Amino acid sequence: MKQLQAYAKRLNWESASFKQATKWTVLEGELVVLLMSMPEGEEAVISDDQIQQSWELLQATMGTYDLQALCLGREAVGTSAVPSSYRDAKRAVDVRKVCHMRKDIVRFGDLGIYLLLYRLQGTDELNVYKRMYLKPLLELDTRQNGSLLSTLRTYFQCNCNAKETAEKMFVHYNTVNYRLERIRSELGLRLDDPETKLLLQLAMKMEEIRELN
């Protein structure tokens, strides 16, 4: 705690010397920053540059300290909304950890699907959903030491381009086509259907988080 308080004091001094509209403190054992809006035209906004500068200052000041990320709550309009923004930021910290996000700067408003996945962790609905869409592939991969799930994941990452998928996985183009046909057969789904793609991508992201945890 004393070390964090010392960092907060130094960060406030550095911020003042660079004329940054920020206030650093320690709350609940964590280093917290209040970013204050800067005039821009007729509006007061917190710019991306302001956020990036705060992150860079944090990195430069804390050095080898176990620094993870800068997680931001939704913008607070008025002092009464600051506690809610702080809770958002703490939730963003939790979501980043559970979902193994790699971003250095995480905004609560940009969590998107990760917030949903975080809320579903450990629920029966999550397990049912994964079994519904991935069980056949998981079982086949386990029995045959196969690569159907990784092929499907890479295929979606390559915007459903089989040739690019083959290049990325260092396998023959025909191998990818065979695996995709096997996936279609096992799941009974069309991989070119937008809704199907969304369902499968969600299920794979859930499985990926489970594996990492």
- Mean confidence (pLDDT) of the chain: 87
Q: What percent of the chain has pLDDT over 70?
A: 94
Does the structure show a pLDDT above 60 at 40?
no
Tell me the CA distances in angstroms from 147 to 12, 14, 89, 153, 184, one per residue in order.
Answer: 51, 51, 38, 10, 14
What average pLDDT does range 102-109 have in this prediction?
Answer: 92
Q: Provide the residue ranges of all domains of the chain, joining segments of one domain with +.
A: 2-111, 122-212
pLDDT range class, residue 145, cuts 50, 70, 90: confident
Segment 175-194, tens digit of pLDDT: 999 999 999 999 999 998 99
pLDDT tens per residue across span 44-73: 578 888 899 999 999 998 886 777 899 999
Question: Helix (H, G, I), strand (E, B), or coil: what is residue 34?
Answer: strand
DSSP string, 77-139: SSGGGHHHHHHHHHHHHHHHHHTT---SEEEGGG-THHHHHHHHTT-HHHHHHHHHHHHHHHH
Residues 89/54, Cβ–Cβ less than 8 Å = no
pLDDT at 155: 95
DSSP state of 23: E
Indicate whether 39 pLDDT > 70: no
pLDDT of 63 reads 80
Q: Give the right CATH number for 122-212 from 1.10.10.2840, 1.20.1440.130, 3.40.605.10, 3.40.50.720.
A: 1.10.10.2840
Beta bridge partners of 22: 35
CA distance 189 to 200: 10
User: How far apart are the C-alpha atoms of 104 and 97, rounded to whole Å?
Assistant: 12
For residue range 16-38, list pLDDT tens digits in order. 988 888 999 999 989 999 998 76
Give residue 210's pLDDT.
Answer: 66
Q: What is the pLDDT of residue 83?
A: 93
pTM over 0.95: no
Q: What Rg value do the Cα atoms of the chain yield, rounded?
A: 22
Helix (H, G, I), strand (E, B) or coil at 196: helix
